[in-house]
Amino acid sequence: MDITAAVAPAQGQPFALRPLRLDDLRHDEVRVRLVATGVCHTDAIVRDQVYPTPLPAVLGHEGAGVVEAVGSSVTTVREGDHVVLSANSCGQCRQCMSGDLSYCEDLFGRNFGGRRPDGSTALSDDQGPVSSMFFGQSSFATHANVAARSVVAVDREVPLDLLGPLGCGIQTGAGAVLNEMRPHAGSSLVVFGAGAVGAAGIMAAVVAGCTTVIAVDLHDSRLDLARSIGATHTVNGRSGDVVERIREITGGRGVDFALETTAVPAVLRQAADALAIRGTVVLVGAAAPGTEVAFETGASLTKGWTFKTVIEGSSVPQVFIPQLIDLWKQGRFPFDSLIKKYPFDRINEAFADSGSGATIKPVLTF
């Protein structure tokens, strides 16, 4: 099948729209006509080879579209279903069998390897193979053969051009709060980095009943948005001692929970230092492999604090994404306020606006 896709041709190079060939659907795959797809920071760091998915590649991992065909062994969706595309997993390892799909033992291969488990790729051109199956989908394309475990059926009444970001960025921030932190009503939570992931964390904190929700960022426009979606306090990271300001807001005790989305080591250290006794800090920001952070472990020993790394919100996408859609329908999770839409052929503009902070969550439309 002939399709059009945005190809990442080489490290750090702009995406290029090209005609490609999509191969035959496998028994455990779903062919999806893309309606929209989110732009995520993970796409940028793979384009720039912080994570080594082989290039050239078709990236994109927040797809939303309509099922056009299903493989012979697929029973979870059928032709005509509206779907959101999320991360892939093997379904057979100990983590998957325990319900921890986000920590699949073949996580890297299934999501970043650029190939199916048998080594084949779904995409090619006259020069040869093009890496595909990014997060089981490669959604920067008009059509994709998608791993069935990446497919989430959704309500047909909800606009598909809004739903793609639920597949990764929004799911990650909200899931880190609701699935991992599980804050109790009346607790305090700070989010470092009020981009799409951080904003989702703020909205989730409100859903959970946190009564002190602090947003920390370098951009006043993002802090203004954070207040509009539920932050009770905001701190500009350039304005002084961030940890001291958080302690002032919390009456000297620190925060119960901290969500760190920036992947900047110095910011993660601030998040840990801002914790209250028995506090928890969760890291979701993706740093380069080998990145290290120094924590204070003398005086802080008596705090009994916890540090976790979390990916994809520790969620089961087929369960969690419909829950987020229900919250949105009730007006309790306004993630659509983060979105700005771009035509597919303006993909490089969307990435530039995301990188500069001009747009919180770009969504490409087909």
Enter the tokens of residue 334: 């306004």
Domain-embedded: residue 326 = no
Percent of the chain with pLDDT over 90: 95
pLDDT over 90 at 304, yes or no: yes
CATH at 57? 3.90.180.10
pLDDT over 90 at 282, yes or no: yes
What number of helices (H) and strands (E) belong to the chain? 11, 18
Q: Are residues 24 and 127 in the same domain?
A: yes
pLDDT at 198: 97
pLDDT at 52: 87
CATH at 252? 3.40.50.720
Domain-embedded: residue 325 = no
Domain-embedded: residue 320 = no
Map residue 114 onto helix, strand or coil: coil
pLDDT over 90 at 286, yes or no: no
Report whether 117 contacts 154 (CB < 8 A).
Answer: no
Domain count, the chain: 2
**Nearest residue to 179 via CA among 90, 312, 322, 361:** 312
H/E stretch holding 172 reads: helix 169-175
Q: Are residues 150 and 235 in the same domain?
A: no
Domain-embedded: residue 264 = yes
Each residue of 73-83: pLDDT tens digit?
Answer: 999 999 999 99
Q: Are residues 62 and 127 in the same domain?
A: yes
Q: Are residues 95 and 71 in the same domain?
A: yes
Taking the C-alpha atoms of residue 67 and residue 30, their distance in angstroms, rounded to an integer, is: 7
Instruction: Kindly report the pTM of this predicted structure.
Output: 0.95
pLDDT over 90 at 289, yes or no: no
Q: Are residues 139 and 184 in the same domain?
A: no
Q: Are residues 295 and 196 in the same domain?
A: yes
pLDDT over 90 at 287, yes or no: no
State which residues form the domain around 215: 173-310
pLDDT at 288: 83
Q: Are residues 139 and 177 in the same domain?
A: no
Taking the C-alpha atoms of residue 214 and residue 206, their distance in angstroms, rounded to an integer, is: 11
The radius of gyration of the chain from alpha carbons, rounded to an integer in Å, stands at 20
Q: In terms of pLDDT, which residue wins out, 178 or 356?
A: 178
